[in-house]
Structure 1
């Protein structure tokens, strides 16, 4: 007999429960048990969240139909992130923007293509993402990443989703219970440790003591097990990532047929940035900021300036967080997943992908017999490295800025840049990022993701001048022209994002 007790619901708890129930095949293995303890007094914040393309594989594995997912979570398609005003503040009506698409460069492995783009005239060459992938044009044209007749979870372009987190939690809960998870609605009252310092049992208000072989802490920032009971130290990322607050809300569209972007908008402001996520029925907005550089009143004014007067008609929620993670996330018979394990910031939707990575690892490493903590060291090594590498990737977005406000100047200070990132930046001044810079199992982002951010932020890679190879130059130009033509054709052929979402939801086409 092996039993698992998950503390906490929400996206982390219910995704963990459903995934493990599916992986461990509870229906055919009655000697395995999964119970989820969820307090009915604690709700889920559903202001609009984003995911990675990995979510498609996760949903498919769980057996959740894509159409059902989109309908029940107010979901839309997400093709990447559009960054506005990160390089510099608006100047004389001019605003800088660049796109980070999910699609890999169409010819990522073509020798000489990126160097050819780097050697082009900076004043006349197209933006990097526009030159290297067709997705840039498709997204800017507000087109969907797939057609209405494509099979579920597939399409000509890579994509993820925007969704309402509260609605997703309910959908995952239904699926987890279908897969055999026992749902206990009760309040956690106490955590009792044994003589060795491990969890002996937890105490709930109505159901009394609850015991398991493995306890999974999905209790959010409260970290009831890993933090309060076991006292595992928290490693702050504030020396590198300064944002620690967000003021969030939902805002209805002006009209039902409003155009629907298929990307997250990340608009920089004086002390952070604002997310703008388009759900099916409304927008999720959030002003992310550093409390060391902006007070709450100024943040409210910043969000109002972005969203307009209609924001006065809706409720806003202030969220506080400390960027960082637990130094050890699996200790004895307890493993933390989600916010209890760590959180960095909303940029690039890393919160959900860290949940996916953790639960997949727990499933693959799960000790069916022997010591329950046998995988702990390996799990901690992999997850710590993944958190560290995400810190560097997120910092990359900030440390290349030319904005003059104190928040941005502090981000450019070399003392605030992780040593590994500084080393890579020094190398990338003379060559573009490549796959040998990264170890796949420790990364959430590929080398071309770094290229999109670097060259979107106009980072200078100084390649040596070479004797003109006319054949190579002509081949590169043909590839770039082909990408442009493919992009134009895709933007013509694919439906608008609004049309596809309305069709999936059974509404008349806009």
Structure 2
């Protein structure tokens, strides 16, 4: 049976699941392929929860550059806030930031009215490599990592936007590496609108029958009919309605949390914070994600270390907001990734393909990255479903999830908590992690060279971020600890001047009230 399908050109694609991952994948395929019929089938009458979703910078690239959705339209139609960092406000007694983009080193940033993204600057042969070394050595010794990204994250009510006379909403004129906090309901409905405009058919039906033969999907049907496609996308979340029929095994990730409780509260514009704020609890950690009108709150925990009722009680005790216990939602999840994300004529996206846990906001951004990659791979291989293409997609997808797992596991491996949960959490991911070994052996040196040699190019997190997080967690670099070195006084002066200027620079950004007034005159929070 498989030989009858293998090597055929894909003319139609059916997406099962109309969540964000399914809709983004459909839009990427519509944009990246020519002459393909694409449909999404789901029970679209089902309510989308009013919760917040945190993202990474690639999501901005995906929406605006790949899908060509203008930033102005996005902010006019979607309830969103902005994000400049994951702010670890209290991680087992440690306070630090996991910033978006690469706001350091400052010695590579030009003295200009607007920010210059240091990631676009040359890291090859340059006399500026020595000042970069001096800066990171000085910052390590002084534990000084203040940036405008961090300061803005700690300034209540401030957005990362500045006024642009041509286009008020131009993130490149503000902090170019900032990203979004989305309200799930409004974002999902926005994606549905874009699908309708671009010819992606949305079919309102609940799938209740999936038949597979010899590792290939033969039939997908709901109460209103059956749906045939050359390629099926399983975007059904943790249910994995199609992949389970194909009996694709999971590769489990060794992480200590498996449960979450979630609630929302009302929020005025003046109280929005431009960060995903994280604090640790007795058996896990708490999050806060702000969008327009809504503050999303949650507690991610280990059911082996605390009962669900006790987790809810601890959650309620940590928040000053009034939360109705009856409105709290409870979730169970597993951390892992499918061994074969694309099998036969079906591949999985979103939570159906993999999930780590929500600490580093990887779910929505990874869905966008894989959707982008799938459309690119299909386009560059003539839309032919062949074993070689499936293996390529599977290899890169697994590498992406493994890198996310490595990065997230750092927070548990090197925690300094004293409860039974945190002590057990230090045992996760016992194998070597290349970025940790590099940090200990050579600090922040060879930023791109080592990353390129040791990774696959699939990373969501830039090289520097590993080491900022390791430093924040209190992990020492033997290289820096044993080095006796006097950094260039001129570099030290520049770093100090930059640090002193951060507060004034934050003052230049619009408040959320000013920002939303520009798009919705008379907006009343």
TM-score w.r.t. the length of structure 1 is 0.88
1:235 match: secondary structure: strand
Counterpart of 2:473? Answer: 457
**Offset at 1:55?**
1.6
**Offset at 1:42?**
4.3
Counterpart of 1:197? Answer: 215
Is the 8 Å Cα contact of residues 392 and 418 (structure 1) preserved in structure 2?
no
Is the 8 Å Cα contact of residues 218 and 340 (structure 1) preserved in structure 2?
yes
Which of 392, 405, 416 in structure 2 is aligned with 1:391? 405
Counterpart of 2:54? Answer: 50
Separation (CA, whole Å) in 2 of partners of 1:503 and 1:301: 41
1:176 match: secondary structure: helix
Structure 1 unaligned blocks of 5 or more: 89-95
1:127 match: secondary structure: coil
More displaced, 7-16 or 105-114? 105-114
**Offset at 1:118?**
4.2
2:510 match: secondary structure: coil
Which of 12, 26, 34 in structure 2 is aligned with 1:17? 26
1:82 aligns with 2:107: no
Is the 8 Å Cα contact of residues 134 and 488 (structure 2) preserved in structure 1?
no
More displaced, 348-357 or 459-468? 459-468
Separation (CA, whole Å) in 2 of partners of 1:481 and 1:508: 40
Which of 7, 14, 22 in structure 1 is aligned with 2:16? 7
How many residues are treated as equivalent by the alignment? Answer: 481
- Which deviations, in whole Å up to 9, do the C-alpha atoms of 1:405-446 show, x marking residues without a partner? 111111223xx234132x543442232243314436221111
Is the 8 Å Cα contact of residues 73 and 165 (structure 1) preserved in structure 2?
no
1:500 aligns with 2:522: no
**Offset at 1:466?**
5.3
**Offset at 1:199?**
1.1
Counterpart of 1:430? Answer: 441
1:64 aligns with 2:81: no
Counterpart of 1:179? Answer: 198
- Which deviations, in whole Å up to 9, do the C-alpha atoms of 1:142-166 show, x marking residues without a partner? 4322213255442331211101112
Counterpart of 1:168? Answer: 187
Separation (CA, whole Å) in 1 of partners of 2:239 and 2:45: 14
Question: Residues 135 and 33 of structure 1: is their aligned pair in 2 closer, same or farther, counting only changes over 3 Å?
Answer: same
Structure 2 unaligned blocks of 5 or more: 1-9, 109-117, 124-128
Question: Residues 458 and 503 of structure 1: is their aligned pair in 2 closer, same or farther, counting only changes over 3 Å?
Answer: farther
Q: State how 1:350-365 maps to structure 2 within 5 Å.
A: 350-365=362-377
Question: Residues 99 and 501 of structure 1: is their aligned pair in 2 closer, same or farther, counting only changes over 3 Å?
Answer: farther
Counterpart of 2:488? Answer: 473
Counterpart of 1:280? Answer: 292
Question: Residues 331 and 204 of structure 1: is their aligned pair in 2 closer, same or farther, counting only changes over 3 Å?
Answer: same
Separation (CA, whole Å) in 2 of partners of 1:424 and 1:48: 31
Separation (CA, whole Å) in 1 of partners of 2:465 and 2:138: 20
1:442 match: secondary structure: coil
Which of 301, 305, 316 in structure 1 is aligned with 2:313? 301
**Offset at 1:460?**
1.4
1:73 aligns with 2:84: no
Is the 8 Å Cα contact of residues 45 and 204 (structure 2) preserved in structure 1?
no
**Offset at 1:347?**
1.0
Separation (CA, whole Å) in 2 of partners of 1:368 and 1:482: 54
1:264 aligns with 2:276: yes
**Offset at 1:40?**
3.6
Question: Residues 283 and 371 of structure 1: is their aligned pair in 2 closer, same or farther, counting only changes over 3 Å?
Answer: closer
Separation (CA, whole Å) in 1 of partners of 2:48 and 2:524: 32
**Offset at 1:452?**
1.9
1:243 aligns with 2:257: yes
Counterpart of 2:247? Answer: 231
2:173 match: secondary structure: coil
**Offset at 1:467?**
6.0
Separation (CA, whole Å) in 2 of partners of 1:478 and 1:440: 37
Separation (CA, whole Å) in 1 of partners of 2:28 and 2:308: 38
1:380 aligns with 2:398: no
Counterpart of 2:6? Answer: none
Question: Residues 342 and 257 of structure 1: is their aligned pair in 2 closer, same or farther, counting only changes over 3 Å?
Answer: closer
Question: Residues 305 and 498 of structure 1: is their aligned pair in 2 closer, same or farther, counting only changes over 3 Å?
Answer: farther
- Which deviations, in whole Å up to 9, do the C-alpha atoms of 1:6-26 show, x marking residues without a partner? 00001011111112112224x
**Offset at 1:252?**
1.0
**Offset at 1:291?**
0.7
Separation (CA, whole Å) in 1 of partners of 2:484 and 2:89: 37
Which of 151, 172, 177 in structure 2 is aligned with 1:137? 151
- Which deviations, in whole Å up to 9, do the C-alpha atoms of 1:74-127 show, x marking residues without a partner? 101111111022143xxxxxxx421122141134764354565545796xx353
Question: Residues 466 and 454 of structure 1: is their aligned pair in 2 closer, same or farther, counting only changes over 3 Å?
Answer: closer
Separation (CA, whole Å) in 1 of partners of 2:458 and 2:441: 25
Is the 8 Å Cα contact of residues 330 and 373 (structure 1) preserved in structure 2?
no
1:337 aligns with 2:356: no
**Offset at 1:217?**
0.4
1:266 match: secondary structure: strand
Is the 8 Å Cα contact of residues 65 and 152 (structure 1) preserved in structure 2?
no
Counterpart of 1:404? Answer: 418
Q: State how 1:365-376 maps to structure 2 within 5 Å.
A: 365-366=377-378, 367-376=381-390
The RMSD of aligned alpha carbons is: 2.4
Which of 432, 436, 442 in structure 2 is aligned with 1:420? 432
Question: Residues 448 and 329 of structure 1: is their aligned pair in 2 closer, same or farther, counting only changes over 3 Å?
Answer: same
